Amino acid sequence: MEESSRINWLFETITTHTLDIIGIIDQNRKVQFTTPMFFEIFGFSPEALPDLDIFDVVHPEDREWLMGRHKNVIATQQNSATEYRVIDKNGEIRHFECKTTPIPDTEDNLTVVAIRDITERKNMENELQRRKNRYEVLQKSLRDYSQDLSAVMKVSDLEERLLKEVRFILPRSEPETLILGNEDNLDEVDSFIHQIVIGKLERIEDQYFIKIGDKKNCSYILSLQASSIQDSMESIWLETLVYYTVMVFENLNVIENLMNQLETALQRNETPQWVLRLLFNLQEQQRLNLSSDLHDTVLQDQIDLYRRLEALVNRYEIDAEVKTNLKAIEQGLLDAIHQIRTTCNELRPPLLRELGLERALENLFDYTQVSSTFKIDFQTENTTGLILSEELTIGIYRIVQELLNNAAKHSNATILNFCLIKDGSLKIIYSDNGVGFDTNKLTPSFTNMGLTSMRQRVQSLSGSIEFQSQLNQGLKVLIEFPILGLGA
């Protein structure tokens, strides 16, 4: 075989069997040559080429700018690469990657066009982006929902808020709340639903059922269409949402029962100290349980997903753009892991018992200053060897947290001063240089709920608290606990 014949044979073999499209296009957008894959994808016959405008197969939304690009390549005689969409012979949209090279000194301004079908890659990128966007929506939903639950005071309000969130995230779910009693005439399905475990997702035929809790011998069940949940990400979201709901439902039941028992005491305009202690202890126990559950379930699931994704990215050869998207998702998981850990630490401060109050407060101040605009000065007097009961330690820690939150939200202060003193009693003195407020208007309301909570917590620990402030003259808070409460 002569060399020229061999080269022709090799060229014909390549053009016949390549999966890419290689073509020569003139200035009038006519196809002068193309490989067989063009006919395979678009269904044209070779006889149709003379009458075909190559841009007829381009998606209408991409056609105009792609024609402008073709003119620019001819005018500048510069190579060009781009991506665009086409309509194949079956009417389906495909994504193409195109590299165009002008052939110099040709009468019809010919260009060589090399086209590769990147539809599969684009679909993967779009799916990754869709999942990333969905993940962000679900995370935001959980954040907003958990924040809104702090204002829920009745079970009916909790039901309404839950149904609203499920309808928003899962539009086709048709959620409703079922209330089942303990009657003997329950049918088989109702009997099964009545006995399902609280917070566990159970499917019966085309519906999911999740038990929220029990109240007055009745079971509260959330039901929704099973087809509305498309993947495991949405299942995890729903279980987490219900978990938050279960916690609030149980707390509302506890509060309602306590309020019923204390109706007589409340009529005397009294709030017994033991009631306050009980409420705060219950709150701390729920914080501990929630922190442990978040750490042992949601956090571990997030860490597992992160490690699997990290292994996938590092183990396989992946397109650069896809890898960039995967890295973005990986970073999102890291951010979520950090947020969950931060939430766990806020719910239950780590090593509070082991470190002691003074060291724990130092850590809290150091952590707070990293993300705050104010400076914190912390002083102690005669606190060496100070040993407090766990209840008092946690109580003081929460009071300090509330002071920090109040300063961050309302004070506009640049300097916060904390002083812990032991001299026959335990004193906490706080002051700032913020905007202050009129103490004569300090009444229990949602605008100063933090200060009211501090006052009640101090009262529950047999302490006293005094607020000293005037408008634009900062705030000073004096807190004192009797020596008998130190639990040495």
For the record, the structure tokens of 184 come out as: 């003997």
CATH of domain 3-117: 3.30.450.20
pLDDT of residue 456: 85
Average pLDDT, the chain: 84
Taking each helix axis as running N to C, give the angle between helix 273-293 and helix 320-347, from 0 to 180 degrees, rounded to the nearest 10. 160
How many angstroms separate the Cα of 156 from the Cα of each of 51, 162, 165, 431?
70, 10, 14, 41
Distance linking the first and last C-alpha atoms of the chain: 103
pTM above 0.85, yes or no: no
pLDDT of residue 98: 93
Q: Where residue 444 falls among pLDDT bands split at 50, 70, 90?
A: very low
pLDDT of residue 16: 75
Kindly report, residue by residue over 287-302, the tens digit of the pLDDT.
Answer: 777 877 777 777 788 8
Q: C-alpha angle with apex 373: 370 to 374, nearest 5 degrees? A: 95
pLDDT of residue 426: 92
Taking each helix axis as running N to C, give the angle between helix 320-347 and helix 300-315, from 0 to 180 degrees, rounded to the nearest 10. 160
Question: DSSP assignment of 379-406, as one string?
Answer: EEES-TT----HHHHHHHHHHHHHHHHH
Q: Where are the alpha helices (DSSP H) in 196-319?
A: 232-261, 263-267, 273-293, 300-315
Specify whether the CB–CB gap between 188 and 175 falls below 8 A: no
Region of poorest pLDDT, from 61-65, 91-95, 161-165, 295-299: 295-299
Q: Is the pLDDT of residue 140 over 80?
A: yes
Taking each helix axis as running N to C, give the angle between helix 273-293 and helix 390-406, from 0 to 180 degrees, rounded to the nearest 10. 80
**Closest CA relative to residue 227, chosen from 208, 201, 202:** 208
| Three-class secondary structure of residue 476 per DSSP | strand
pLDDT of residue 418: 95
Kindly report, residue by residue over 245-271, the tens digit of the pLDDT.
Answer: 999 999 988 888 777 777 766 666 666
Pairing mode of beta strands 415-422, 375-381: parallel
**Closest CA relative to residue 346, chosen from 414, 282, 284:** 284
Same fold, 3-117 and 352-486: no
For the record, the structure tokens of 488 come out as: 């040495």
Report the run of H or E that residue 15 belongs to, with start and end: helix 3-17
The residue extents of the domains of the chain are 3-117, 118-233, 262-348, 352-486
Question: DSSP assignment of 170-217, as one string?
Answer: STT---EEEEE---TT--HHHHHHHHSPBT-EEEETTEEEEEEEEETT
- Classify domain 352-486 at the CATH superfamily level: Histidine kinase-like ATPase, C-terminal domain (3.30.565.10)
